[in-house]
Amino acid sequence: MRSDYGDGVTMNDPLPDHPSPDNPTGKLVLLRHGETEWSKAGFHTGLTDIPLTPRGEDLARGAGQLVADYDFSLVLCSPLERARRTAELAGLHAEVDPLLVEWDYGGYEGRTTKDIREELGYDWSAFTHGVIRGKTPGETVEEVAARASRVLTRVLPALVDGDVALVAHGHFLRILTAVYLRLAPRFGAQITLDAGSVSVLSFYREQPAILTWNYGLELPLAPSES
């Protein structure tokens, strides 16, 4: 599989030589990047590369404290600055994987759900109705899920040797979790994820399971808008 993921980044991603193991003992730890000005405002932030806010940097350091006791055999992060900086502040030595970029929102990049709904006149959501072309082509939910599936073909074998961390983005990690749980990608709409949060996936009696979800230094008072 050869694909382009923004800024001319091209990735050559062959499938592994061996299938995924059965019931690996390692944990899959998901870190959503810390807060940015756009995530704070509820803007859809796909391939736009913007930095963390000071609070976002604090959240990233807090995430690092939460994962300090894990034994990581592999750490991967999105190439976008907000994810790379989160990994750095969390004390993780991460390898960049272009497959971990956020959903390409196309023409809805930089816009809020409220704004899009007012324009369309109905209760739009990216998971239900999809996105449109813009400066970038945009992606369907299924295309994001396909990227997530390829990440998991690499990650699951590594869980035999220890824990794995993925530092990435809210919508992408929600869809990846749906794929991990062997559910439809749109299940991701039902599991919100806050900036700077940590979630842990594992296997329980041979079944993929959520060990903890959306855990952070603060309990959310409302669902994340981005």
- Of the candidates 185, 156, 171, 189, the one whose C-alpha atom is nearest the C-alpha of residue 76 is 156
Neighbours of 99 (CB within 10 A): 22
Looking at 33, 44, 169, 171, which residue is catalytic?
A: 33
| Secondary-structure class of domain 28-215 per CATH | alpha beta
pLDDT at 10: 45
pLDDT at 116: 97
| Max Cα distance, the chain (Å) | 51
How far is residue 173's CA from residue 205's CA, in Å, rounded to a whole number? 23
pLDDT tens-digit series, residues 76-117: 999 999 999 999 999 999 999 999 999 999 999 999 999 999
182 touches 208 (CB < 8 A): yes
Is the pTM here over 0.85, yes or no?
Answer: yes
Task: Give me the helices (H) in 79-139, please.
Answer: 81-89, 113-120, 126-129
Which residues have CB under 8 Å from 104's CB, separation 6+?
A: 6, 46, 47, 131, 136, 137, 138, 139
150 touches 144 (CB < 8 A): no
Neighbours of 206 (CB within 10 A): 8
What is the pLDDT tens value at each position of the chain, 226 positions in all?
434 554 444 456 778 888 888 889 999 999 999 999 999 999 999 999 999 999 999 999 999 999 999 999 999 999 999 999 999 999 999 999 999 999 999 999 999 999 999 999 999 999 999 999 999 999 999 999 999 999 999 999 999 999 999 999 999 999 999 999 999 999 999 999 999 999 999 999 889 999 999 998 777 767 777 6
- Of the candidates 65, 63, 88, 74, the one whose C-alpha atom is nearest the C-alpha of residue 165 is 74
Does the annotation mark 206 as catalytic?
A: no
pLDDT at 1: 41
- Of the candidates 97, 91, 72, the one whose C-alpha atom is nearest the C-alpha of residue 152 is 97
pLDDT at 21: 86
Q: Please give the DSSP secondary-structure letter assigned to residue 187.
A: G
pLDDT at 12: 60
In the chain, domain spans: 28-215
Does the annotation mark 102 as catalytic?
A: yes
Residue 107 annotated as part of some ligand binding site:
no
Residue 45 annotated as part of some ligand binding site:
yes
Looking at 35, 102, 109, 139, which residue is catalytic?
A: 102
31 touches 166 (CB < 8 A): yes
